[in-house]
Amino acid sequence: MSRLTPHAAWVAVPLLLLAGAASATQRGIHYGEIDDPGLVACDQQLWEGQLQRARACYRQLLGKAPATALRAELAWALGEIKAANRWFRQAVQENPESAPLRTRWGWLFAVTHQAAEAQALFDEALTLDPNYVYAKLGLASVMAGGFSGAASEALEPLLTDANIPTGAAIRASLMKAWLALEEGHLDEAETLLDRADGMLRSSTWPRLELLALRAAHAALGDEPVQPWVDEALAQNEFFGDAWAVPAYFMVITRRYEQAGQWYEAALAVQPDLWSARLELGTNLLRLDRPVEARRQIEAAYTGDPYNAKTVNTLRLLDTLDGFEIRTLTMGEKGMKLRLHSEEAAVLTPYVADLTRRSVALFSERYQYTPSQPVVVEMYPDHEDFAVRTVGLPGVGILGATFGYVVAMDSPAARSPDDFHWGTTLWHEIAHIFTLRATDHRVTRWFSEGISVFEEWRTGPVPGRQIPLVALNAMAEGKLLPLAQLDASFIRPSYPQQVIVSYMQAGLTCDFIEQEFGFAPLVEILAQYKAGAGTRKAVETALGITLEQFDERFAAFIDSEFSETFAALTEFEQQRGDAVGAAREQRWADVVEPAQRAATLLPAYVDADSPYLMLARAQRELEEPAAELSALQAFFDAGGRVPAALDRLAELLKDQGNVAAAADVLDESNWVAPLDWDRHSRLGELWLELGKADAAVREYRAALALNPHDRADAHLKLARSLNSAGRTDEARLEVLSALELAPNFREAQKLLMSLIES
């Protein structure tokens, strides 16, 4: 479960089975793509689990000085990947017009995790022969690995084309079944698997991949997987994917413990199934078992050094050596924070505070108490977090939750102008409850919906925050029927659809609470735990059909947002006018359009909010009261741009409203807690208000951020500790100040005062 940036990018996760390889670097089942009888005979032995005989067979063929293309296949079959690549290159040079040859070379790249090169070769093959179906399948596989919604569209015509070879039709059915399983469409998957099975039974191709998918289908339907696994292993006792494929589907449905057991089972029958070993290691990280994880991932690297995920994750594990682990109290089970050593001292109190508050609140609301310690990891380098989450950099998510483990960007990883880390942590902690309260059976849409809903309802910045892109999509009628919402998280059909789906999910929960009360939300969780799908869960909890739900939800959206939708065009126009005037520093001309834009969309509080343009204009026009008013409206609407909050606090303080200024700066901690000066200013305000303990927290944070003047920071902390009556701690701090600056007269005076008292 994850929280997205407004510009999220989905990542490619290789679907090894669909790529035609039972194990990374292995050739897998080619379903008629190769017709050399000698090679197919060797392959048949491999597929039957006669590994030694198969290898001998390949070697024997190699000894007969075969043609270059066959030599490439044989090198590949024998695990000599670099040699295979060389032979394919030579074969293509010898026969540049061959679409099948380029397609096979493309598969070699696909199974060695080089999707771009694979796609280029499949494209070249289709240029040579637009009807070459195996290249179409290759391209669909690459699309599926990139979580593109186009994969399904590419496969559709192949499912109904009676003229394509049977092997290709089988593969198309299996691939489409895989996609259907990923999207949770079990009935559709079963139909496709039945279709594939029918064709397989009258062919010479093994049923191994079909059986693995049958096992996955059973697992997702809470049926026993063992019969299917047994049948597959009876055909090939070394076919680890019989376990690894259902394990993959357990991972994507967040059932990590089950996945781990099945990956171990896969490796027991096929120790060189390197993809499974990597996934096992990654899964152990999700379960907060980094030592065992490293062992598995290092082993995976020795067998498959081509996998970027493996290399990245090993590097990440090295990075984790620079993190501190802090175990803190919280309820019965406590919490564990894994924070970078340069941030741990400053972030710990804030992370612990928010974690305690959210866990206490959600325990009560969702009637579930964590039975293990909650683990929070925060990464100052976003790419480390991305690797932690999916093994690859370039992911547009902010946080992810794996059972009891929350991993997320630290405040240092992103600009505070558009990253409210407190809200992200709140969102992720909510996932712990929806996942654990349902034994990880909750659907993605509902878990994300509850997390977004809780952001709005109980989070650090309450109130609906809906990005413009989502408002525009809603205005264009792009919200989905509830039954289709889950699939849109996996394979979005248009850019930014995932963002829209997050908002729809949050609004759905909001709607349920408003129309039916809070209890049905808890009931839906109970239904998921009992194994219900969305239809049954929603219909049971709400007493209406899913279709009725969709109708009422559409009416709710209309009543809540029709005015907003109508205002969108004018908002953009007014905001554009304000931006234009501001660019030319015509400050008086900024005021009216900015005011109008803020009125049209009062909840829009991004960094380019009209409130901030208005405040800037009023400042330039030397109208401090109007500036304060604009900034206060921005703050009240949920705006948390740190520079704006600094200015608001300054104006409030100038007005003599110290308490309000302190409250505003205090909110900055959930956005930008890594600024020592802001902590110091807030500490000063708290001291002025007589809140010595709050001042201590801020001055400690300031000190942890290595301020330029450390002696002064120690003195300030000493003063706040003294005010809080903690004189022994105060004396130690003042000694620290004087250790750095022995002649620091103010510190000397405090020391003497403490000693004399």
- Interacting residues toward another protein by CB under 8 A: 708-711, 728, 731-732, 735, 738-745, 747-749, 751-752, 755
Q: Residue 231 contacts by C-beta under 8 Å, 6 or more apart in sequence?
A: 207, 211
Q: Cα dihedral sign for 294, 295, 296, 297?
A: positive
Residue 400 or 715 having the CB closest to another protein: 715
Residue 493 or 748 having the CB closest to another protein: 748
d(CA 433, CA 426): 11
User: CB of residue 711 vs another protein: minimum separation in angstroms?
Assistant: 6
d(CA 728, CA 245): 61
Q: Do residues 708 and 702 lie in contact, with contact meaning Cβ atoms separated by under 8 Å?
A: no
Residue 320 or 711 having the CB closest to another protein: 711
Q: Do residues 196 and 235 lie in contact, with contact meaning Cβ atoms separated by under 8 Å?
A: no
Residue 519 or 755 having the CB closest to another protein: 755
User: CB of residue 740 vs another protein: minimum separation in angstroms?
Assistant: 7
Pairing of strands 374-379, 397-402: unpaired
Which residue stretches of 421-545 are H helix? 421-436, 444-458, 468-475, 482-490, 497-516, 519-529, 534-542
User: CB of residue 583 vs another protein: minimum separation in angstroms?
Assistant: 18
The backbone region for 741, taken as left when phi is positive above 0, alpha when psi lies in -120 to 50, beta otherwise, is: beta
Residue 272 or 733 having the CB closest to another protein: 733
Helix axes 421-436, 444-458, angle to 10 degrees: 130
Q: Do residues 385 and 320 lie in contact, with contact meaning Cβ atoms separated by under 8 Å?
A: no
d(CA 43, CA 110): 19
User: CB of residue 674 vs another protein: minimum separation in angstroms?
Assistant: 12
End-to-end CA distance of the chain: 55
Residue 201 or 749 having the CB closest to another protein: 749
Residue 710 or 726 having the CB closest to another protein: 710
User: CB of residue 621 vs another protein: minimum separation in angstroms?
Assistant: 24
Q: Cα dihedral sign for 577, 578, 584, 588?
A: positive
Residue 136 or 731 having the CB closest to another protein: 731
Q: Do residues 184 and 157 lie in contact, with contact meaning Cβ atoms separated by under 8 Å?
A: no
- Residue bearing tokens 């405090």: 750
User: CB of residue 184 vs another protein: minimum separation in angstroms?
Assistant: 44
User: CB of residue 735 vs another protein: minimum separation in angstroms?
Assistant: 6
d(CA 696, CA 716): 9
User: CB of residue 752 vs another protein: minimum separation in angstroms?
Assistant: 5
- Residue bearing tokens 């500790």: 721
User: CB of residue 710 vs another protein: minimum separation in angstroms?
Assistant: 7
What is residue 605's three-state secondary structure?
Answer: coil
Tokens representing 433 are 């409850």
Residue 568 or 735 having the CB closest to another protein: 735
User: CB of residue 277 vs another protein: minimum separation in angstroms?
Assistant: 41
Residue 10 or 676 having the CB closest to another protein: 676
User: CB of residue 494 vs another protein: minimum separation in angstroms?
Assistant: 32
User: CB of residue 694 vs another protein: minimum separation in angstroms?
Assistant: 25
Q: Rg (Cα) of the chain, in Å, rounded?
A: 30
Question: Which whole-number Å values give the CA distances from 507 to 422, 463, 474, 513, in the listed order?
Answer: 21, 12, 11, 10
3-state SS record for 616-639: HHHHHCCCHHHHHHHHHHHHHCCC
d(CA 592, CA 622): 16
Residue 571 or 744 having the CB closest to another protein: 744
Residue 251 or 751 having the CB closest to another protein: 751
d(CA 180, CA 428): 27
Residue 478 or 710 having the CB closest to another protein: 710
DSSP string computed for 62-124: HTT---HHHHHHHHHHTT-HHHHHHHHHHHHHH-TT-HHHHHHHHHHHHHTT-HHHHHHHHHH
Residue 630 or 734 having the CB closest to another protein: 734
Q: Which residues of 54-67 are buried (b: 16+ CB within 10 A; e: fewer)?
A: bbebbeebbeeebe
Comparing CA positions, the residue from 22, 111, 106, 76 lying closest to residue 304 is: 111
Residue 428 or 712 having the CB closest to another protein: 712
Residue 375 or 737 having the CB closest to another protein: 737
User: CB of residue 170 vs another protein: minimum separation in angstroms?
Assistant: 55
What is residue 602's three-state secondary structure?
Answer: coil
CB burial class (10 A; 0-12, 13-18, 19+) of residue 494? Answer: exposed
Question: Which whole-number Å values give the CA distances from 509 to 241, 439, 457, 505, 529, in the listed order?
Answer: 38, 20, 11, 6, 18
User: CB of residue 610 vs another protein: minimum separation in angstroms?
Assistant: 23
Comparing CA positions, the residue from 31, 205, 28 lying closest to residue 133 is: 31
User: CB of residue 744 vs another protein: minimum separation in angstroms?
Assistant: 4
3-state SS record for 325-377: EEEECCCCCCEEEEEECCCHHHHHHHHHHHHHHHHHHHHHHHCCCCCCCEEEE
User: CB of residue 747 vs another protein: minimum separation in angstroms?
Assistant: 7
What is residue 409's three-state secondary structure?
Answer: strand
Residue 327 or 415 having the CB closest to another protein: 415
Which residue stretches of 225-255 are H helix? 226-235, 241-252
d(CA 68, CA 36): 13
User: CB of residue 718 vs another protein: minimum separation in angstroms?
Assistant: 13
User: CB of residue 6 vs another protein: minimum separation in angstroms?
Assistant: 20
Residue 670 or 676 having the CB closest to another protein: 676
